[in-house]
Amino acid sequence: MGRGKLRIYLGAAPGVGKTYAMLSEGHRRIERGTDCAVGFVEHHGRPRTEVMLHGLEQIARKELTYRGAVFTEMDVDAVLARRPEVALVDELAHTNVPGSRNAKRWQDVEELLAAGIDVVSTVNIQHLESLGDVVESITGVRQRETVPDEVVRRADQIELVDMSPEALRRRMAHGNIYKPDRIDASLSNYFRPGNLTALRELALLWVADRVDEYLQQYRGEHNIRSTWQARERIVVGLTGGPEGRTLVRRAARMAAKGSGSEILAVYIARSDGLTAASPKELALQRTLVEDLGGTFHHVIGDDIPAALLEFARGVNATQIVLGSSRRKTWQYVFGPGVGMTVARESGPDLDVHIVTHEEVAKGRGLPVTRGARLGRSRIIWGWLIGVGGPALLSLALTHVATDLGLANDMLLFLSVTVAAALVGGLLPALASAAVGSLLLNYYFTPPLHLFTVADPKNIVAIVIFVGVAVSVASVVDLAARRTHQAARLRAESEILSFLAGSVLRGENSLDALLDRVRETFAMDSVALLERASDVEPWTRAASVGPHPLERPENADVDMPVGDHMALALSGRVLPAEDRRVLAAFAAQAAVVLDRQRLQSEADQARTLAEGNRIRTALLAAVSHDLRTPLAGIKAAVSSLRSDDVAWSEEDQAELLAGIEEGADRLDHLVGNLLDMSRLQTGTVTPLMREIDLDEVVPMALVGVPDGSVDLDIPESLPMVTVDKGLLERAVANIVENAVKYSPEDETVLVAASTLGDRVEVRVVDRGPGVPDTAKDRIFAPFQRYGDAPRGAGVGLGLAVARGFVEAMSGTLTAEDTPGGGLTMVLTLTAATGRPPAGPTSSAIAQRGRYA
C-alpha cells in the first residue's frame, strides 16, 4: 500500500477562499467518480462556505470534554475506518483539544497519508513555523498554532489562493468573513492594507521558492546541465579589483528591469596562498551586494573560468556580468583572459555581459597571490621549457635553419635558459643551461656528434655560455622573487592597514572578521577557541563556515593568541610566510572579542545607571503627589485627636473617609512607583497560566465609581494565557485613566472580542481624546496629557499598564473612538485549550452596567 498524496491550498490571510477552493476540489473529484469525504471542515459561519458542504459526505466528528466544555475534533479512527480515496481536512496547523489522538492536526493528516488516503488541506502563510518571527514583526501578533515547514514542503502539490488586499478588505466589510461586531476591529488591526500586502508578498515568495526547489530537483534527477531561464539570475564575477562596485551596480540595474531577478556575486580564489583581492575592497563590494539585495559567494578554484561557469550553471543563472580586462595589450600573449574564455565556453544558455570601466587596460598590478612561490603549472612549464626547449631548438637548427655560427647558436640557447628562468625559476634554468651546453657541444661544436671539443676557443665559449646562463638565470629568478616578495608585502600591508582601520573605526563584528580570514586564506572554516585554564576544555567563542573545529589540535592551521585562546582554521595547510598575516588577524579577533564583552558589561552598567536615574526621577517627580495625601491624612488625624473640638458623628465619619481616601491614593501611587521600578530594572517575571477574562476584569473595576463602567464580556471567549495579577493591575490602570477623562454623564465601555488566535479587550471612553502625535507619548513614564490636575497622579498608570501587558507578550495601543474619545486596545494571546465556540456576540455572560 503506497503513501497517500497531499495537496495544500495556501493563503496569505483568513478569508481569501482556501476552504472554499478545497470544497470546490472535493466536488470536482466526486464528479469524476472519486470517493471523497469531509474529514473536518470549519465554515466559521460563512454562508457561502457552508453551502459548499452540501452534497459532500461528512464523517462524524469526535466529541471531547475539556474543562467542563464539549469540543469536536476530527475522528481519525472514523476516517481510517471509512477509508475514502480523498479526505478533505481543513486548518492543517490547528491544535487539537487535549485528550485527542494527536496534539496537532497535521499529525492526524500524516496518519491518513501513511494509510494510503489522499488528503486535501488548507493553511495560512502565517502558520509556517519558520515565518513566525517575520509574521510577528509585520502584524505584532505571535502565532501559537504552527506547522513545521517540512510538512508543507513534502506536499505533492501546493496551490496558492491569492487575493488582493483591497478585495479581501471589501469581502470583510461585506460581512463575508466575520460577523458585523468584529469587522471594525479586524479592519483596523490584522486586516490593515499594509499587513495584508506584506503577508501576500510573503506567501508569493514562499511559493516561488518552493517552485524553484522543485525545478532544481527535476533538473538534478534528469541530469539537465543547460540553463532554464525560468527566473533571471545574474551572476557577477568579482576579482576584488576597483571595478567590482561598477559591475555590481550595473547588475543591479539589469535586475531591476525584471521582477523577481536575483543577483549573485561570486569571488573565485586560487587555492595557493593569500588571495589576489584587496580585503578592504572585497569587503566593500560584499556590503554593496548585500545592500542591493543580492548574495555574496566565495568559491575556491584554480581554473577561474571553469569555476565561474560551474557556479553559474549550478545556480541556474541566466546572465553573467564581467568587467573588461585590466590587462595591457602585450599581456594577451599569455592567454585570452577570463572574460573571453567564459564568453566562449558559456554556450547558448548563458548570456555574458562584458562591462567597461575606468580600470580597463591599466594593468592588473603585481600578482599578490603566489608570494615567493610559483604555481605548480608554472613549474611544470618551466621544466618543459628548460629540458624540451634546447632539444626543440637543436632540432630546428640542425634540420631547418642554415649555419648561423656558434655565437648565434649560444645566444639562442641562452634565450631559452632565460625563458625557463622567467617561467619556472632557478632550477629549470640550471637544467636548461646544462642541457644546452651538452647539445651545443654535441651538435654545433667541431667535431660534431661527439662530446669532445677540438678547438680550445670553443671550450672557453661553452664555459662562458654556462657561466652566463647560470648568472642570467640567477638574476632573473632573483628579480622574479623580489617582485613577488614586494607584491606579497603590498598585500600584507593592505591587510594590516585594513585591520588597523577596523580598530580605529571600532568595528565589533567578530563573525565578519572571521569571515574575512576565511576569504583571505581560502579556508573552509575558521573558529576562535578559548579556555579558562590549561586544564579546562576548549569552548568556541565564534566561528564561520561549515563544520567548525572544537580543538586546535584538529585544525589544519592553528594560531595561538595568548595562553588560553587560539584561532583554528580548516581547509588546507598554510605556508610559513602566511602565518605573519594570520597572527595579525588572530590578535585582532582577540581584541574584538574583548571589545564585545566590554561592550556587554558597559550595557549592563548603563542599564543599572538608567535604573538609578529612574529611581531619582521617581522621587523627584512624586514629591508633591506623595505629600498631598499624607498632608490630608495628617490633618484629619490631628483633628480627630484634638481635645479642643467636640466632633459630631457625621464630622468624624467625614474625617475618617478623608483618611481612607488619602490612604487609597497613597497606596495607588506607591504601587505604581514600585511597578515602574520593577519594569525599568527588568525584574517583572510573569507567572503565565490559562484563565478566563471574566475572572479578572470585574476584579479590576473595584476602584472605579459606581455606574461608571459598562462591561461586555462574551461567554464564548477563549481563555487567555496571562499572569492574573499583572493583567488585573493593567486593566485597572487603563479603566481608571478612562474614567478620569470621561464626562460625568458618559460611561466607559469595557468590551472583549476574539480575532484569530488573539483576544482583544477594548476600553472605550468619550473624553477629549488624544491627537495622533501624542498617542505614543502618553505611555511614557511621568506623562500626563492635557490639563489633568496635579492631584490626578504622576503619569505612571498607562506606562505601568503597557509594561505589564508587554511582559505577558501582549500589546497595548491607543486609537480614536468614533464620535470622539480614546479607545485603549489590549491584545492578549488566546490559550489553545478552548477555542471560540462561535460568534463573540452569540452569548453574553457579563453585560451591563458595572456597579
| Beta pairing, strands 709-714 & 748-755 | parallel
- Condensed to tens digits (0 to 9), the pLDDT of residues 790-828 reads 444 556 778 888 888 888 889 999 998 887 889 999 999
C-alpha cell belonging to residue 815: 486609537
pLDDT at position 368? 38
Give φ, ψ of 592 to 5 degrees. Answer: -65, -40
pLDDT at 788 over 60: no
CB atoms within 10 A of CB 786: 11
Please say whether the beta carbons of 444 and 397 come within 8 A: yes
CB atoms within 10 A of CB 761: 26
Q: Is 796 left (phi over 0), alpha (psi -120 to 50) or beta?
A: alpha
Rounded-to-integer distance, Cα 13 and Cα 646, Å: 73
C-alpha cell belonging to residue 142: 505571535
Q: Can you state the angle between helices 623-641 and 649-681, rounded to 10 degrees?
A: 150
pLDDT at position 30? 92
C-alpha cell belonging to residue 229: 531561464
Q: How many helices (H) and strands (E) does the chain have?
A: 25, 25
pLDDT at 834 over 60: no
Residue 582, helix vs strand vs coil: helix
Displacement of CA 575 from its chain's centroid (Å): 36
Residue 815, helix vs strand vs coil: strand
pLDDT at position 492? 67
User: Looking at 52-66, 165-179, 478-492, which range is the least confident one?
Assistant: 478-492
- The DSSP-derived string for 112-140 is HHHTT-EEEEEEEGGGBGGGHHHHHHHHS
pLDDT at position 217? 64
- Condensed to tens digits (0 to 9), the pLDDT of residues 292-301 reads 888 888 777 7
C-alpha cell belonging to residue 658: 478623608
pLDDT at position 840? 37
**What percent of the chain is predicted at pLDDT more than 90?**
13
Give, rounded to a whole angstrom, the gap between the first and last alpha carbons of the chain.
67
Angle at 97 between CA 92 and CA 103, to 5 degrees: 55
Q: Where are the beta strands (DSSP E) in 531-676?
A: 539-544, 557-560, 565-570
Indicate the helix (H) or strand (E) that contains 304.
helix 304-314
Rounded-to-integer distance, Cα 145 and Cα 310, Å: 42
User: Nearest to residue 9, comparing CAs of 197, 117, 155, 132?
Assistant: 155
CB atoms within 10 A of CB 583: 14
Strand partners, 160: 10
Alpha helices in 643-796 (DSSP H): 649-681, 697-700, 724-741
Spatial neighbors of 713 by CB under 8 A, at least 6 apart, are 693, 694, 697, 750, 751, 752, 844, 845, 846, 847
pLDDT at 493 over 60: yes
CB atoms within 10 A of CB 207: 16
Strand partners, 86: 36, 118
- Condensed to tens digits (0 to 9), the pLDDT of residues 713-769 reads 887 788 899 888 888 888 988 998 888 888 888 889 999 988 878 899 999 998 888
pLDDT at position 847? 39
**Using only C-alpha atoms, what is the Rg of the chain?**
40
Model confidence band, residue 789 (pLDDT cutoffs 50, 70, 90): very low
How far CA 154 is from CA of 29, 110, 149, 460, in Å, comes to: 22, 11, 9, 84
pLDDT at 366 over 50: no
| Highest-scoring range by mean pLDDT, 74-78, 676-680, 704-708 | 74-78
Strand partners, 713: 846
Higher-confidence residue of 116 and 635: namely 116
Q: State mean pLDDT over 245-267.
A: 83
pLDDT at 242 over 60: yes
| Highest-scoring range by mean pLDDT, 24-33, 131-140, 270-279, 779-788 | 24-33
- Give the chain's mean pLDDT: 79
Higher-confidence residue of 139 and 33: namely 33
Rounded-to-integer distance, Cα 517 and Cα 512, Å: 9
pLDDT at 112 over 90: yes
CB atoms within 10 A of CB 605: 10
pLDDT at 842 over 50: no
pLDDT at 35 over 90: yes
pLDDT at position 520? 77
pLDDT at position 220? 64
pLDDT at 225 over 70: no
Q: Where are the beta strands (DSSP E) in 349-450?
A: 351-355
Please say whether the beta carbons of 298 and 269 come within 8 A: yes
Model confidence band, residue 329 (pLDDT cutoffs 50, 70, 90): low
* Residue at grid coordinates 498524496: 5
* Residue at grid coordinates 566593500: 284
User: Nearest to residue 184, comparing CAs of 597, 678, 751?
Assistant: 751
Spatial neighbors of 566 by CB under 8 A, at least 6 apart, are 528, 529, 530, 538, 552, 558, 559, 560, 586
pLDDT at position 74? 92
pLDDT at 123 over 80: yes
User: Looking at 257-261, 593-597, 804-808, which range is the least confident one?
Assistant: 257-261
* Residue at grid coordinates 578592504: 280
pLDDT at position 82? 92
Angle at 754 between CA 180 and CA 696, to 5 degrees: 130
C-alpha cell belonging to residue 219: 533538473
Q: Where are the beta strands (DSSP E) in 270-405?
A: 295-300, 319-323, 351-355
User: Nearest to residue 18, comparing CAs of 163, 206, 179, 185?
Assistant: 163
- The DSSP-derived string for 432-500 is HHHHHHHHIIIIISSSTTSS--SSHHHHHHHHHHHHHHHHHHHHHHHHHHHHHHHHHHHHHHHHHHHHH
Indicate the helix (H) or strand (E) that contains 718.
none
Rounded-to-integer distance, Cα 768 and Cα 741, Å: 7
Strand partners, 122: 9
DSSP annotation of 388 reads I
The 319-323 sheet, strands edge to edge? 295-300, 262-269, 233-238, 319-323, 351-355
Please say whether the beta carbons of 702 and 829 come within 8 A: no
pTM: 0.38
pLDDT at position 291? 84
Q: State mean pLDDT over 615-632.
A: 63
Rounded-to-integer distance, Cα 284 and Cα 268, Å: 16
Burial class (CB in 10 A: 0-12, 13-18, 19+), 467: exposed
Measured torsion, CA atoms of residues 50, 51, 54, 59, in degrees rounded to the nearest 10 = -10
**What percent of the chain is predicted at pLDDT more than 70?**
80
Long-range contacts of 659-663 (CB under 8 A, 24+ apart): 659/632, 659/633, 661/629, 661/632, 662/629, 662/630, 662/632, 662/633, 662/636, 663/629, 663/633
User: Looking at 156-160, 271-275, 415-419, 462-466, which range is the least confident one?
Assistant: 271-275
User: Looking at 398-412, 642-656, 675-689, 702-716, which range is the least confident one?
Assistant: 675-689
Rounded-to-integer distance, Cα 431 and Cα 191, Å: 82
Model confidence band, residue 698 (pLDDT cutoffs 50, 70, 90): confident
Higher-confidence residue of 386 and 621: namely 386
Spatial neighbors of 211 by CB under 8 A, at least 6 apart, are none
